[in-house]
Structure 1
Amino acid sequence: MNIKTIMAFAVGPIATAGLGLLTVPAIAWIFPPADVGRLNMVQISVSFGVLLFNLGLDRAYIREYHEWGDRGALLKACFVPGFALLVLVMAITLPYDRRIAMWLFGLGHVTYYWVLVACVTASFISRFLSLILRMQERGLAFSMSQVLPKIIFLLILGVMTWPAFSRSFNELEAAYLASLLSVLVIYAWNTRGDWSLALPAAVSQAQIRGLLSYGVPLIFAGVAYWGLDATSSLALRSLSTLSELAVYAVSVSFAGVGVVFQTIFTVLWAPLVYKWVAHGVDMSRIDRVAQQALAVVCAIWVLCGTLSWVADFVLPARYLQVKYFMLCCIGQPLLYTLSEVTCVGIGITRKSMLSLWSTLAALIVNVAISVWLVPGHGAAGAVIANAMAFLVFFIARTEASAYVWRPFPRARLYACVVVAVGLSLVTLVWGPFAPVHFSYAWLAMLPVVAWYFRAEWLGMYRSLHSAAGLGGWLLLTGRGPHVRL
């Protein structure tokens, strides 16, 4: 993988984040806060469906891609069990559609539930098709498949400003479904040569059992992670109001810079690590990658703190709290991304259960703090719970990896992320009352980050400047520029 490939993968997340800066304010201006909160429930339900029904086999596909001879059979073996489970659950929930819609959205219209089912199905299929592009390193096709649906969604929102539309939740949910279906169509077209070979491929029960033995523990870990991710939204839905949920949802959306970093990194990282393992590469290089990732995480966090005041100029007045909340929200994607580097030992040693226990520990923290703070503090309590939970998540995954694989330096990692989370919490609590605008304090941290990570910045610059080896700042190997994996 070279820099050209990395940049091709980066186009999608960067463009998606840019479009998100237009889409989120558009939704906030066009639709009432209650409908913005309901859309958040749709999104977390879709993410739950994809996590549950793929049975961990999406991760198994990535893990085994370089070791299976028949990749069409691998795709079929990973897709079919989860899709069969999805169809079964759809049939079972048929008599309860109105009740589920009322519980999720506060509106007992069955259409809302079945549009949600269509969203889950489209996202599930798209997930496996996207893995084909990801593993084949077809970065530009992968990026375009992300960007075009966002453009379609934004155009639909523009049309909804016409007087002919009622601007109801029904229209908002339908617009979201249209964007997901466009994703599916684009992925299906770009991967038609691959999934068409998977259809007639022969797959044995033994092969499926082998994949499930790796993926099943990840089902629980995935569902637990969804719970960790969704606890704040569910707590706000049941212990607070839809308006508070809307403020939280917009705050999370404005933390999109962190999501860009997470998306680019995770798309590239897992396939690269397992390729290193398959080729017997010296894995001590991961220590340098971890320190460089920490530098980028801290820089993004500080830049967001410095520029978060911009949210006041693009959102309605009822979302003035977003600029304080988003710094805690950005901890979720940034700490998750950093943990993807520090927890590689779990995947390499196939100790999948440790991912589950790490996530459960963070989930317990999130639930406890949410139940404590959300009833009295609404969205503020939810973002505090989320920030603390993901700090625990990062530390637990890192320690588990060091225990089962190899010890590596961790004190600097922990010190930096604790300071970042602490400053975010201080901003949330005291930012509205500070005599000096809080963004100046974050601005003062910029030269500190630049100096403290000066060795990492220099290393990343040299790697990017040479455009050699494995490419990019991920790949400081210490080997000659002729080496390409």
Structure 2
Amino acid sequence: MAFALGPIATAAIGLITVPAIAWVFPPADVGRLNVVQVAVSFGVLLFNLGLDRAYVREYHEWSDRGALLKACFAPGFGLMLLAMLFSFPFDQRIATWLFGLGHMVYYWILVACVLVSFISRFLSLILRMQDRGLAFSLSQMLPKIILLLVVGVLFLPMFSRSFGQLEVAYLVSLLSVLFIYSWNTWRDWVPALKASVSRKQVRRLLGYGVPLIFAGIAYWGLDATSTLTLRSLSTLSELAVYSVSMSFAGVGIVFQTIFTVLWAPMVYKWVANGVDMRRVDHIAQQALAVVCVLWVLSGTFSWLADFVLPARYAQVKYLMLCCIGQPLLYTLSEVTCVGIGITRRTMLSLWSTVIALIVNVAGSIWLVPAHGAAGAVVANAVAFLVFFVARTEASAHVWRPFPRARLYAFVIAAVALSIATLVWGPSLPIHFSFVWLGMLPVVVWCFRAEWVGMYGAFRSAIKAELLSSEPSGGSGTIP
């Protein structure tokens, strides 16, 4: 629950921040901010060399965790500084290519964002692996609050509301979270500065992480294809509509964030302790139940976006239903592909992502020129469906077979209904939200066993927590 607080609060704040940015800044600048965010995610994925995943994988098996942190952080950080040095002569050209504005200061603000985000990524892992859920959540909430406050200040008449101001506001929000992470983890990263690490240890970690570099870049490409094709084949206004639509798919991103933060460390802990991994089959069905309900609820209430966005973003309520497929399908694939991580067959993650990337690029090139943001979200939804199926099948092949027909049936139906809503929603004789509302009792009934199981597990967890908090010799009763 402590880990869930951050993503939930962040999404709630985002429901205020995104409309505020949409009202204060023109669509072209909103689109450029999306380019910044995509570039920052690429920088972090590229330069961490897959060693952030190696840190999580090896955390419970290294006795000197300061040395582990140093061994995972230093190679990518050094490579990043070297890349920054080599990019110096091309800063203005890169800024023009990314933002359509030939000011080199925009590029160096972007570089600062990448540097800050890279450091924050590793510091956040310390909090996660130590199960410090409240500190982790507060650190996630702060940048959204800071960004909202700065955007509120920029709304004052004395400011010109340029893209440079928006980019600086984003950097300030990232710096705030770095400060909090640094303060909360100084007892861990200060000893890491003095820790001794051998080349053999670093090579072993790189052996695990290097395949994940390519998988990470491929996933970034899968995630960023829509942004890049809209930037090159459409307009910044269409990119702004897509960016806002993705932001309004926040309920799926909340689920993805909570689940991925908890899932991988927990699974590897089970493996280290010899737990019966057949429990993953039940968790996969429970995750599918949550995914379906979140998808249906998003379709039922997506029309509320019209009340908080300017009129030029009226298409968002249709687009966001395809957008929500990305975080939900990724989250579900994290459960079903667990065998890839357990068997350390990380190359399969790469090939699964590459297949989905090819689908996304081909679909985007075909659909974006004619349909803009609508074409981008359709291509993205289909690509993430392929991504989910590929990872699931790969895991079943290298680990052990498990039931998959029900998983595929429901996710294919959800993607198909989302695309149908986008295509025919505006012309339906009844409001499209009633169609999604009619699906809610169907989903609840089909997953009734999973709801009962999750409720029972939640009650057991609460009882265990209450019992552990009882003072020694206490006689309190548990309801």
TM-score bucket of the superposed structures, by smaller chain: over 0.9
Mapped to 2, the partners of 1:370 and 1:148 lie a distance apart of 35
Mapped to 2, the partners of 1:462 and 1:349 lie a distance apart of 31
Q: Which residue of 2 aligns with 1:39?
A: 33
Where in structure 1 are there 5+ consecutive unaligned residues? 1-6, 472-485
After the TM superposition, which residues 259-270 of structure 1 pair with which residues of structure 2 at under 5 Å, given as runs? 259-270=253-264
Q: Which residue of 2 aligns with 1:97?
A: 91
Q: Which amino acid aligns with 2:83?
A: V
Q: Secondary structure at the match of 1:55?
A: coil
Q: Which residue of 2 aligns with 1:373?
A: 367
Q: Which residue of 2 aligns with 1:168?
A: 162
Q: Which amino acid aligns with 2:409?
A: A
Q: Which residue of 2 aligns with 1:479?
A: none
| Closer, same or farther: CA 231–208 of 1 in aligned 2, 3 Å | same
Q: Which residue of 1 aligns with 2:476?
A: none
The TM-score with structure 2 as length reference comes to 0.96
2:187 to 193, 216, 222: 193
Mapped to 1, the partners of 2:30 and 2:134 lie a distance apart of 31
1:316 to 264, 287, 310: 310
Q: Which amino acid aligns with 2:380?
A: N
Q: Secondary structure at the match of 2:197?
A: coil
Q: Secondary structure at the match of 1:96?
A: helix
Aligned-pair distance for 1:465? 1.4
| Closer, same or farther: CA 279–110 of 1 in aligned 2, 3 Å | same
Mapped to 1, the partners of 2:56 and 2:383 lie a distance apart of 27
CA RMSD of aligned residues (A): 0.8
The TM-score with structure 1 as length reference comes to 0.95
1:341-386 per-residue CA deviation (whole Å, 9 max, x = no partner) reads 0000000000000000000000000000000000011000000000
Query: Is 1:113 matched up with 2:110?
Result: no
Q: Which amino acid aligns with 2:317?
A: K
Q: Secondary structure at the match of 1:413?
A: helix
Query: Is 1:17 matched up with 2:11?
Result: yes
After the TM superposition, which residues 24-423 of structure 1 pair with which residues of structure 2 at under 5 Å, given as runs? 24-423=18-417
Aligned-pair distance for 1:470? 9.0
Mapped to 2, the partners of 1:377 and 1:144 lie a distance apart of 40
Mapped to 2, the partners of 1:240 and 1:375 lie a distance apart of 6
| Closer, same or farther: CA 160–403 of 1 in aligned 2, 3 Å | same
| Closer, same or farther: CA 470–31 of 1 in aligned 2, 3 Å | farther
Which is worse superposed, 149-158 or 173-182? Answer: 149-158
Where in structure 2 are there 5+ consecutive unaligned residues? 466-479
Q: Which amino acid aligns with 1:67?
A: E
Mapped to 2, the partners of 1:362 and 1:146 lie a distance apart of 29
1:294-314 per-residue CA deviation (whole Å, 9 max, x = no partner) reads 000000000000000000000
Q: Which residue of 1 aligns with 2:450?
A: 456
Mapped to 1, the partners of 2:378 and 2:277 lie a distance apart of 36
Q: Which amino acid aligns with 1:463?
A: A
Mapped to 1, the partners of 2:85 and 2:461 lie a distance apart of 53
Q: Which amino acid aligns with 1:439?
A: S
Q: Which residue of 2 aligns with 1:441?
A: 435
Mapped to 1, the partners of 2:90 and 2:362 lie a distance apart of 30
Aligned-pair distance for 1:280? 0.4
Q: Which amino acid aligns with 1:445?
A: M
Mapped to 2, the partners of 1:469 and 1:459 lie a distance apart of 15
